[in-house]
């Protein structure tokens, strides 16, 4: 994939920020919603911002404040929050081959969200090793800052913003699927990959429509991976059967 | 917020961070142990498979419109098509996203300007 943003050798962090910019279209409106919902659930704006800063995981944050507001036991709130975030365990190992030796990487893992992973998984292999840390730092910090800023905005003025900019709140989040589409499209390189990835997308969308948003990512990914493995054996078996039957 | 609630926030935050961090340390050790293993071929096959399918799953989830309805789905389909067409021609990151959002927004705004009776 070519680049819109040139990665100038001196400022890889700037290129990272530029390439992560489309993420803001999805992050900011959702963060505003979180800030608003958190304050409606009884948290102060300061507390909402602290949760966004420390936990920094969209879906689980909504669940966290929702369960607290509903009076769920704290151990269950924590368990469910961590369960939803369990999918994150496969992200960093997938990036590991492209991470350079530096003490900065472990700290930056706090910013490894679904979206930052998708972007980094596509871009890190294309960057020179010397630019990867700066690029990832720029992309991850911009995304994190936008999430925290959006939460603060939502907690302080969310009601008014939603009322005044309702249409923009509906349009801007499309930047996320558009970005993911651009990241996933180059991977449709063979029939086997196309089938596995196409199935994954459909299962994830289907589960989300049915209301299983939190399960959608791990379940759909498991279906896609299974499909990829099964399809690998299908041609061999077919060939074998073909040979046996002399068709 | 009570002390117990603060502790719940801190445990959730620390747990999430560890889920992002510990697998990295594990993988880096594994790569270091393997001779010349600083490439993707040193990764277990199941893990290298999970990367692309996770991105596809995140894409599938993100396709769900903010306010589901016929108009939103038409706008989503239009946006996806515009993104794909521009990506096909330019093979870049930014322009297809801008085209997709513009196409999606055009459908939503046109529908707001000319509501059907």
B5 and B38 together in one domain: yes
- Domain residues for the domain of B77 are 63-117
B73 and B42 together in one domain: no
Region of poorest pLDDT, from A12-16, A72-76, A161-165, A202-206:
A161-165
Tell me the per-residue pLDDT of A76-117, one tens digit each, with 9 for 90 and over.
889 988 988 888 898 999 999 999 989 999 999 999 998 899
Mean pLDDT value across chain B: 87
Would you say residue B4 lies in a domain? Answer: yes
ipTM above 0.85, yes or no: no
**At which residue do the structure tokens 């049915």 appear?**
A210
pLDDT of res. A239 = 45
Would you say residue B39 lies in a domain? Answer: yes
Does residue A210 sit at the B interface (CB-CB below 8 Å)? no
What secondary structure, in 3-state letters, does A5-67 show? CCCCCCCHHHHHHHHHHHHHHHHHHHHHHHHHHHHHCCCCHHHHHHHHHHCCCHHHHHHHHHH
Give the pair of three-digit tokens for residue A156: 């302080």
B67 and B117 together in one domain: yes
B44 and B10 together in one domain: yes
Would you say residue B80 lies in a domain? Answer: yes
| Cβ contact, residue pair A204, B43, below 8 Å | no
Mean predicted confidence (pLDDT) in B48-77: 89
Q: Which of B52, B73, B89 is the last residue of a domain?
A: B52
Would you say residue B107 lies in a domain? Answer: yes
B72 and B98 together in one domain: yes
Cα–Cα distance measured from residue A79 to residue B15, given in angstroms and rounded to the nearest whole number: 10
Would you say residue B58 lies in a domain? Answer: no
Measure in Å the smallest separation between the Cα of B117 and chain A Cα atoms: 20
B1 and B46 together in one domain: yes
B46 and B81 together in one domain: no
B84 and B108 together in one domain: yes
Indicate the number of domains in chain B.
2
Residues B104 and A14 sit within 8 Å (Cβ to Cβ) = no
Mean pLDDT value across chain A: 85
Full DSSP string of chain B: --HHHHHHHHHHHHHHHHHHHHHHHHHHHHHHHSTT--SGGGS-HHHHHHHHHHHHHHHHHHTS-SS-SHHHHHHHHHHHHHHHHHHHHH--SHHHHHHHHHHHHHHHHHHHHS---
B79 and B116 together in one domain: yes
Q: How does residue B41 score in pLDDT terms, banded at 50, 70 and 90?
A: low
Does residue B40 sit at the A interface (CB-CB below 8 Å)? yes
B47 and B82 together in one domain: no
Q: How does residue A167 score in pLDDT terms, banded at 50, 70 and 90?
A: confident
Closest B-chain CA to A85: B16
B42 and B85 together in one domain: no
Would you say residue B78 lies in a domain? Answer: yes
B70 and B46 together in one domain: no
A28 pLDDT higher than 50:
yes
Would you say residue B57 lies in a domain? Answer: no
| Cβ contact, residue pair A121, B51, below 8 Å | yes
Would you say residue B101 lies in a domain? Answer: yes
Chain A residues lying within 8 Å of B38, measured CB to CB:
97
């Amino acid at each position: 994939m070519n680049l819109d943003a040139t990665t100038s050798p001196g400022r890889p962090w700037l290129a990272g920020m530029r390439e992560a910019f489309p993420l803001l279209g999805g992050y900011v409106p959702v963060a505003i919603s979180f800030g608003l919902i958190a304050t409606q659930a009884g948290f102060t704006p300061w507390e909402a911002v602290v949760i966004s800063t420390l936990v920094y995981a969209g879906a689980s944050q909504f669940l966290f404040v929702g369960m607290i507001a509903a009076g769920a036991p704290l151990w269950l709130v924590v368990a469910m929050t961590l369960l939803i975030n369990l999918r994150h365990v496969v992200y960093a190992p997938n990036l590991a081959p492209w991470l350079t030796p530096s003490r900065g990487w472990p700290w930056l893992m706090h910013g490894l969200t679904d979206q930052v992973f998708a972007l980094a998984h596509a871009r890190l292999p294309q960057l020179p090793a010397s630019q990867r840390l700066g690029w990832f730092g720029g992309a991850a910090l911009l995304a994190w800052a936008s999430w925290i800023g959006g939460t603060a905005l939502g907690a302080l003025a969310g009601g008014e913003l939603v009322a005044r900019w309702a249409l923009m709140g509906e349009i801007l989040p499309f930047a996320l699927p558009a970005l993911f589409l651009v990241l996933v499209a180059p991977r449709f390189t063979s029939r086997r990959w196309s089938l596995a990835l196409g199935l994954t997308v459909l299962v994830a969308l289907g589960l989300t429509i049915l209301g299983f948003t939190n399960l959608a990512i791990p379940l759909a990914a498991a279906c896609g991976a299974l499909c990829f493995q099964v399809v690998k054996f299908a041609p061999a078996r077919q060939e074998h059967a073909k040979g046996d039957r002399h068709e | 917020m009570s002390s117990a609630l603060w502790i719940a926030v801190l445990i959730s935050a620390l747990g999430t961070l560890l889920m992002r961090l510990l697998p990295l340390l594990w993988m880096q050790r594994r790569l270091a142990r393997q001779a010349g293993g600083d490439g993707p071929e040193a990764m277990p096959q199941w893990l290298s498979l999970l990367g692309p399918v996770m991105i596809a799953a995140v894409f599938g989830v993100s396709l769900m419109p903010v306010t589901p309805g016929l108009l939103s789905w038409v706008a989503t389909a239009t946006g996806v098509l515009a993104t794909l067409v521009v990506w096909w021609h330019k093979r870049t990151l930014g322009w297809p996203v801008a085209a997709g959002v513009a196409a999606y927004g055009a459908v939503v705004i046109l529908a707001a300007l000319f509501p059907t009776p």
